[in-house]
Amino acid sequence: MSLIDIETEELIINPYIGIQSLDKKGVRIGEVSINVSSFGILCQRELIPLLDMDSFQHRELTYQNQRVYRVWSVTGEYNFPNKHTVSMTLPERGRIRLGFLEEEIIRLNLPKTYEYFKSR
């Protein structure tokens, strides 16, 4: 089985973006996967840099009174025989913290991602 981009409903290809939401206790309540092309330059320009690795791991944060979401660059295990898509049943190869995105940026640029998190 292959991972699907929540925004475009296309197959995920490596590397891809993972966006996570945390509850007020710092527990992960959901994650979506999107292709780098779905994330796009509009979201990339709005990334809030990592200032504190502990905050990234353990707490829900706000930035300028707005909820933020954790953003990762992810490389998944390839889904053979199609060597470009990512398997959803195999473990990831690696994950790098990119920073945070404000909720408003997700709402404007990634509407299906925003709806997914609002439904949680």
For residue 76, being part of any structural domain is answered with: yes
Identify whether 81 is preceded by a cis peptide bond (ω within 30 of 0).
Answer: yes
What percent of the chain clears pLDDT 70, i.e. is strictly above it? Answer: 87
Residue 33 within a domain: yes
The contacts of residue 53 (CB under 8 Å, 6+ apart) are 97
Q: What DSSP character marks residue 13?
A: B
Q: What is the mean pLDDT of residues 22-49?
A: 88
- Flag whether 11 is in a domain: no
Number of Cβ within a 10 Å radius of residue 91: 7
Does the pTM surpass 0.85? The reply is: yes
Look up the domain containing 64 and give its range.
16-118
pLDDT value of position 90:
87
How far from chain centre, in Å, is Cα 68? 12
* Res 53: pLDDT: 59
The verdict on residue 37 lying in a domain is yes
The single residue listed with the structure tokens 């925003």 is 114
Average pLDDT for 33-44: 96
Q: Has residue 92 been placed in a domain?
A: yes
Q: Per the domain annotation, does 2 fall within a domain?
A: no
Our count of domains for the chain comes to 1
| Tokens coding 17 | 């973006």
Question: Does residue 41 belong to any structural domain of this protein?
Answer: yes
Domain assignment of residue 7, yes or no? no
